[in-house]
A = this chain, B = another copy of it.
Amino acid sequence: MARAWHLMSRPSGMPVAENFELREHATPALGEGMIRVRNLWLSVDPYMRGRMNDVKSYVPPFQLGEPMQGGAVGEVVESRAAGFAERDKVLHMAGWRDEAVLPADQAQKLPALGVPDQAYLGYLGMPGMTAYFGLLAVAEAKQGDTVFVSAAAGAVGSTVIQIAKAKGMTAIGSAGGADKCAWVASLGADATVDYKAERPLVRKLTEAAPRGIDVYFDNVGGEHLDAAFAAANDRARFAICGMIGGYNSGEPMTFRYVMAIIAKRLMLKGFIVTDFMSRMGEFYADMGAMAAAGKLTSEETVHEGLDRQVDAFLGLFSGGNKGKMLVRL
């Protein structure tokens, strides 16, 4: 029997363990063009919270009673699809379960870039693409810019820091607590902001960026976004990637410095990583080279076993991870 996590009720506010149930399934026989995959690594990502609401959005909501989905890396154990053989490693979206049966065209063989398998769920996967295209394409960050990124100890933010440094930018990251800030600094950040420390965030940011910021990569919204308005230089560009601060609370956000948009001619641009799927080749080439040159290091917070999937997910919202949050099966 295979096992999969199902969404049993929609969270109101912060998700709780009771929203999910781990169920057993008879494993189906394999149809033509299908593969059976034993999952090795499962991803949890903040965007999954949005799919738990029953609202029209850029990805359809998870269905009640149905298995959850999400990024996963696994090994093919049975194939009825041309081009896929047993022991091939694949990346796919049928996560939150130990065994997946899926059409082969929904799986992608891992490129041979000489990195650990789970990197394709992190800095060489969706979070990495989010960092790469958000920084370079959406915010048009370039050599010499000062870049500020929030949630810099997360999977996306920590990659933004490293790409910024590899490309000759000044990088400033915010994270919660001295330990995470030290880790962000160890990635090469020129300055860090501990958002949990005393004193207003705007004060801490303007001290950390005495010459202002040219780019803000927003993962959290709220007070961080407001501080970025205050610290921005003329014509600064903001890539609006996430607002994890608002995913669960549904509370309105209040801004004191929003009028800077006019006086400083700021540009804010929301984006979704899937808009950049057609440029995946460029991403692998550039990031693969950086990885080979030792310019990308990865930290992972790993939970062991499928039973821990929900704990891993909930940990995203309590700052429980340093780097990429993963479940290893």
The reply on A26 being an interface residue by CB < 8 A is no
B residues less than 8 Å from A272 (CB atoms): 262-263, 265
B residues less than 8 Å from A30 (CB atoms): none
Copies in the complex: 2
Known A-B contacts A253-B255, A254-B252, A268-B267; the reply to A262 vs B242 at CB < 8 A is: yes
B residues less than 8 Å from A253 (CB atoms): 254-255, 258
The reply on A275 being an interface residue by CB < 8 A is yes
Query: B252 touching A256 by the CB < 8 A rule?
Result: yes
B residues less than 8 Å from A263 (CB atoms): 50, 57-58, 270, 272
Show 17 residue pairs from A and B whose CB-CB distance is below 8 angstroms, ordered by the A residue.
A58-B263, A221-B259, A240-B262, A241-B262, A243-B259, A252-B258, A253-B254, A260-B270, A261-B268, A262-B270, A262-B272, A263-B270, A265-B275, A266-B268, A267-B267, A267-B268, A268-B268
- A-side interface residues toward B, CB under 8 Å? 50, 57-58, 221, 240-243, 246, 252-256, 258-272, 275
Given contacts A243-B262, A254-B255, A261-B270, list 11 more A-B pairs with CB under 8 A: A58-B264, A240-B261, A241-B262, A246-B259, A253-B255, A254-B254, A255-B255, A262-B270, A262-B272, A266-B268, A268-B269
